[in-house]
Amino acid sequence: MGFLADALSRVKPSATIAVTQKARELKAQGREIISLSVGEPDFDTPDHIKAAAIDAIRRGETKYGPVAGIAPLREAIAKKFKRENGLDYKPSQCIVGTGGKQILFNALMASLNPGDEVIISAPYWVSYPEIVALCGGQAVIVATRPEDGYKLRPEALEQAITSRTKWVIFNSPSNPSGAAYTRDELKALTEVLLRQPHVWVLTDDIYEHLVYGDFVYTTPAQVEPALHERTLTMNGVSKAYAMTGWRIGYAAGPDKLIRAMDMIQGQQTSGACSIAQWAAVEALDGPQDFIAESRKIFEGRRDLVVSMLNQAQYLTAHQPEGAFYVFPSCAEALGRTSAGGTRIETDVDFVTALLEEQGVAVVQGSAFGMGPNFRVSYATSNEALAKACAKIQLFCAGLR
């Protein structure tokens, strides 16, 4: 009998973390590496948020807090959902976790039984199917199409639902594609879910504030209030507020689910860092002007990257509506050989050769359930992006 749990055999390591680690190793060897693999804003946390954390330390807010989160933060979360999404939640229906990943894990752990199915559209964030597997469920992957902007079609959703379906995980704007759903597109999907009262919606809104042009953001329970009682709306401060290392995610949903998540978290980590929670109160309640400023910067970076990638031979890049990723196809590069002599048979071969030959780190699309593509994060400077994209162009020009 083996020592490690059988559940581990169902789970793969995070590809995004693996690529980042390989890039670090090459950098440590003295190589010049430009990493476009990390989903982390390059901006610093705003000063007023940092000041709130310092004030909390000085006030002695350094003790254990309630498992579900300190009262001022749960109140700020409820106000945020009302103010920005038109959603009515009591503070008691809100919960705080150590990052959005813990929120997802607790929700699925609290609700999945062996054999329960969770619908996930591809391309997907790498952790969704792995968390489902760890929690004993079965991920049902539904492919999207480039011609649909990598968005889930209502008929594909309906076809995937069975009597065992418990959740649909919904991420807009998407990691890795940047696809964001309009109100009408969401309405068409919620119409399907209205006909399936046994299916719950887990919506990951972490990139909510990063949408571009005249795009208007909406979330499922806002578009279809009848789904309110079977929707968990998850968000966090990491992306819009440049607070990745503070590790604060949050969600709101029906009382019975929040109570169950609270119980699991109480036996797992207890409450999130008290100091980080006070910083998150300031993030949600304090000035919001900088979000529009960073959004404008990200939009310019998106346009730069999409333009330069579409100028590269054998690549096709769709212009995403949100987040800070581009998800180009490298299908035309397959079957060719790089200037360094690597035969490109898969997107893994493509990104590996690109890193080794040009020093540019990106993540293969197959890690997100769809290839041959790769994910480019443009959460870095224009200078670094222009240099990296020029190297990608050079790499592609050398393919024979």
Split at pLDDT 50, 70, 90, the class of 27 is confident
Confidence of residue 159 (pLDDT cuts 50, 70, 90): very high
Average pLDDT over residues 73-96: 98
Residue 379 has pLDDT above 70, yes or no: yes
Using one digit for the tens of pLDDT, what is the confidence trace for 254-273?
Answer: 999 999 999 999 999 999 99
Q: Measured between alpha carbons, how far is 243 from 169 in angstroms, rounded to an integer?
A: 24
One-letter amino acid of 390: A
- 39 pLDDT band, cuts 50/70/90, is confident
Place of tokens 């889930």: 152
User: What class is the 62-285 domain?
Assistant: alpha beta
Mean predicted lDDT score pLDDT of the chain: 96
Band the pLDDT of 109: cuts 50, 70, 90: very high
Band (1; pLDDT cuts 50, 70, 90): low
pLDDT for 8 equals 82
Query: What pLDDT score was predicted for residue 5?
Result: 87
The proportion of the chain whose per-residue pLDDT surpasses 90, expressed as a percent, equals 92
At residue 38 the predicted structure's pLDDT band, cuts being 50, 70 and 90, is confident
Average pLDDT over residues 76-105: 98
Question: Which pLDDT score is estimated for 182?
Answer: 98
Express each pLDDT in 174-211 by its tens digit. 999 999 999 999 999 999 999 999 999 999 999 999 99
- Within the chain, all domains assigned CATH 3.90.1150.10 are found at 6-44+290-397
pLDDT for 281-332, tens place per residue? 999 999 999 999 999 999 999 999 999 999 999 999 999 999 999 999 999 9
- Looking at the chain, the number of H-run helices and the number of E-run strands are 13, 14
Local structure of 45: helix, strand or coil: coil
Give the CATH number of domain 6-44+290-397; options: 3.20.20.70, 3.20.20.220, 3.40.50.620, 3.90.1150.10: 3.90.1150.10
> Distance between CA 361 and CA 376 in Å, rounded?
9
CA pair distance 160, 122, nearest whole angstrom: 13
Q: Where in the chain is the domain with CATH 3.40.640.10?
A: 62-285
With a pLDDT cut of 70, the percent of the chain lying above it is 100
Q: Which long-range contacts (CB under 8 A, 24 or more apart) does 222-226 make?
A: 222/85, 222/86, 222/87, 223/183, 223/186, 223/187, 223/190, 224/186, 224/187, 224/190, 224/191, 224/193, 224/194, 226/194
**pLDDT at residue number 114:** 95
Q: Average pLDDT of 368-376? A: 96
Give the pLDDT score at 22: 81
Q: What is the pTM of this model?
A: 0.95
pLDDT at 18: 73
Q: DSSP strand E in 47-187: where? A: 94-97, 117-122, 138-143, 165-171
Place of tokens 């990390």: 38
Query: Which pLDDT score, from 0 to 100, does residue 2 have?
Result: 81
Rounded to the nearest 5°, which phi and psi values hold at 200?
-100, 160
